């Protein structure tokens, strides 16, 4: 039996407002516990929430970026339940009239093909506090700093068919919200987390299977691993004559498995009703037009432009547009050096390699885009060769000079293109290598091409890497063949 996987994601994005969604308390991360929750966040008697306009603007911008319908009216509802991290006794959310309607997102798969994933809707809600289980000797501490932090919950249609597609979708959402600047997208700090709905069905069957929902997965890799485990569990269960039950599960990254949390029978009845303390949100056309005019170029548009007007490959265009910082860095390098392909190669090659090795993000790159662009210009105008360029890059990285030109001067890396100088070095190497010359002479003609590498290496060494390699190659061949 062939099985097909069906996946739908509910992504929670923490919006980057400075204050909470219904109060003036700060949303900054990392403060002392319980120093950033005010009476409104705690739902104390007699307080009234006031909607943060910035949160509305951010939600709408997301909606516009995913081509969604933005309804004129949206309404906040109370979702009632008890939990220690929710002293209000209800979460203010949007159940029946969300702020963002149906839209879609383009995802890019490993082979650079693309697919559209439909978004069912996105709604605004407040986050709850956090339970702290460590350091309390068998008791639980509660930190309410996060209570009232604005979240945008983005609910997809069940359009994904593999773990890879789900990860690509999450990456696409991450790109969009960080391009828009509506979230810092920091998954380690919980700024983006998702509930993963997974089911399987026999290939060719139209009806969906029963799904399990894996709560609060907070990394791209965990999403893939949780789905892989869950798919295998469900198929095995069905093939053994069992039935998947609709339930909520937790992913345990240490053991690489999902475990049941609660089944549907135990599910809460949240008794949603419109929040009497908040007016419906009414958005007029002028407001939407204003927000639309503020949208930056989005990842999909940038990717398309990198391909069509800069001539980059689909792969390069995708990698370089995935984060706004990466795209901006690349565009600045390109602006300075004028060669898109070289700029792409250096940003993805030497620079990304060095950043990864030292676990730095591109915003913290010790080599600036301007410095890298100038370095590439010196390769393009033949001032230095490729080998010296890597040395210059390393020196810039280590802060040994302010610019490529300064380092080229200081280290004497200017490429030697003077034929006379190169010939003199070649003559010296030939005079110093009688055994290799004899070997060259006695070899089959088709083997000589390979043997020339030894001599090139010696000449490059003699020039301390500064000789023009093409010239060295050509002149060496002439001189060696003259000895035959």
* Residue choice 10, 184, 257, 332 for contact with ligand ADP (CB under 6 A): 10
With CB under 6 A as the rule, give the number of residues binding ligand ADP: 15
What is the CA 246 to chain-centroid distance, rounded?
A: 31
Q: Of residues 77-136, which lie at the interface with ligand ADP (CB under 6 A)?
A: none
Q: Which are the contacts of 258, defined by CB distance < 8 A and separation ≥ 6? A: 212, 214, 226, 229, 230, 233, 249, 250, 251, 252
Nearer to ligand ADP, 175 or 197 (CB): 197
Nearer to ligand ADP, 197 or 466 (CB): 197
If one asks whether residue 287 binds ligand ADP (CB under 6 A), the answer comes out as no
Nearer to ligand ADP, 264 or 447 (CB): 264
Name the segment binding ligand ADP (CB under 6 A); options: 155-163, 308-316, 405-413, 468-476: 155-163
Q: Of residues 178-197, which lie at the interface with ligand ADP (CB under 6 A)?
A: 197
Nearest 5°: the CA angle 191, 166, 311 is 95
If one asks whether residue 6 binds ligand ADP (CB under 6 A), the answer comes out as yes
What is the crossing angle of helices 299-308 and 324-337, to 10°?
30
Name the segment binding ligand ADP (CB under 6 A); options: 38-46, 108-116, 173-181, 204-212: 204-212
Q: Which residue is nearest to ligand ADP (CB)?
A: 8
If one asks whether residue 208 binds ligand ADP (CB under 6 A), the answer comes out as yes
If one asks whether residue 155 binds ligand ADP (CB under 6 A), the answer comes out as yes
* Residue choice 33, 101, 141, 158 for contact with ligand ADP (CB under 6 A): 158
* Residue choice 12, 78, 88, 211 for contact with ligand ADP (CB under 6 A): 211
CA dihedral 459, 464, 467, 472 (to 10 degrees): 10
Nearer to ligand ADP, 210 or 352 (CB): 210
Least distance (Å) from ligand ADP to the CB of residue 243?
A: 14
Q: Note whether 5 and 238 are within 8 A (CB).
A: no
Nearer to ligand ADP, 20 or 211 (CB): 211
Q: Give 13's strand partners.
A: 152, 192
Least distance (Å) from ligand ADP to the CB of residue 269?
A: 13
Residues in the chain, overall count? 484
If one asks whether residue 312 binds ligand ADP (CB under 6 A), the answer comes out as no
Least distance (Å) from ligand ADP to the CB of residue 333?
A: 39
* Residue choice 149, 156, 191, 385 for contact with ligand ADP (CB under 6 A): 156
For the chain, the distance separating the N- and C-terminal CA atoms, rounded to the nearest angstrom, is 70
How far CA 432 is from CA of 22, 73, 395, 448, in Å, comes to 81, 86, 32, 19
HEC string for 418-458: CHHHHHHHHHHHHHHCHHHHHHHHHCCHHHHHHHHHHHHHH
Q: Note whether 41 and 23 are within 8 A (CB).
A: yes
Distance separating alpha carbons of residues 464 and 458, to the nearest angstrom: 10
Locate all alpha helices (DSSP H) within 19-148, ordered by sequence.
39-42, 53-65
Least distance (Å) from ligand ADP to the CB of residue 209?
A: 6
For ligand ADP, the binding residues (CB under 6 A) are 6-10, 155-158, 197-199, 208-209, 211
């Amino acid at each position: 039996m062939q099985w097909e996987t069906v996946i739908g994601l509910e992504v929670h994005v923490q919006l980057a407002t400075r204050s909470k969604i219904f109060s003036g308390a700060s949303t900054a991360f990392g403060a002392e516990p319980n120093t950033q929750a005010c009476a409104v966040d705690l739902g104390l008697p007699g307080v009234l929430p006031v909607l943060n306009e910035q949160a509305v603007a951010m939600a709408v911008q997301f909606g516009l970026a995913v081509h969604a319908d933005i309804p004129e009216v949206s309404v906040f509802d109370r979702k009632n339940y008890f939990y220690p991290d929710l002293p209000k006794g209800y979460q203010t959310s949007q159940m029946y009239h969300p702020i963002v309607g149906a839209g879609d997102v383009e995802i890019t798969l490993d082979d650079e093909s693309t697919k559209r994933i439909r978004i069912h809707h996105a709604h605004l809600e407040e986050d709850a506090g956090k339970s702290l289980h460590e350091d309390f000797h068998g008791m639980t501490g509660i930190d309410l700093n996060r209570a009232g932090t604005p979240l945008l919950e983005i609910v997809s249609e069940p359009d994904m068919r593999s773990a890879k597609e789900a990860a690509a979708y999450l990456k696409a959402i991450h790109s969009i919200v960080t391009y828009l600047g509506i979230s810092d997208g920091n998954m380690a700090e919980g700024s983006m987390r998702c509930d993963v709905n997974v089911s399987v069905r026999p290939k060719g069957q139209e009806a969906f299977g029963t799904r399990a929902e894996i709560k609060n997965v907070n990394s791209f890799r965990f999403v893939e691993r949780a789905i892989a485990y869950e798919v295998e569990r469900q198929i095995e269960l069905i093939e053994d004559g069992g039935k998947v039950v609709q339930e909520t599960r937790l992913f345990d990254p240490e053991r690489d498995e999902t475990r049941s949390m609660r089944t549907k029978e135990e599910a809460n009845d949240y008794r949603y009703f419109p929040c009497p303390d908040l007016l419906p949100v009414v958005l007029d056309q002028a407001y939407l037009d204003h927000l639309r005019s503020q949208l930056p170029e989005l990842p999909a548009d940038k990717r398309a432009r990198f391909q069509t007007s800069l001539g980059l490959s689909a792969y390069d265009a995708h990698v370089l547009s995935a984060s706004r910082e990466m795209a901006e860095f690349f565009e600045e390098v390109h602006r300075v050096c004028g060669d898109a392909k070289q700029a792409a190669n250096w940003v993805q090659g030497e620079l990304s390699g060095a950043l990864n090795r030292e676990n730095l993000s591109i915003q913290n790159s010790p080599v600036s885009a301007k410095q890298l662009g100038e370095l590439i210009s010196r390769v393009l105008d033949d001032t230095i060769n490729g080998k010296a360029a890597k040395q210059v890059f390393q020196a810039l990285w280590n802060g040994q000079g302010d610019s490529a030109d300064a380092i080229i001067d200081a280290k004497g890396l200017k490429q030697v293109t003077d034929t006379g100088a190169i010939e003199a070095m070649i003559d010296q190497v030939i005079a110093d290598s009688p055994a290799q010359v004899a070997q060259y002479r006695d070899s089959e003609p088709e083997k000589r091409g390979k043997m020339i590498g030894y001599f090139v290496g010696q000449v490059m060494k003699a020039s301390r890497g500064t000789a023009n390699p093409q010239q060295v190659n050509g002149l060496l061949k002439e001189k060696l063949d003259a000895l035959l």
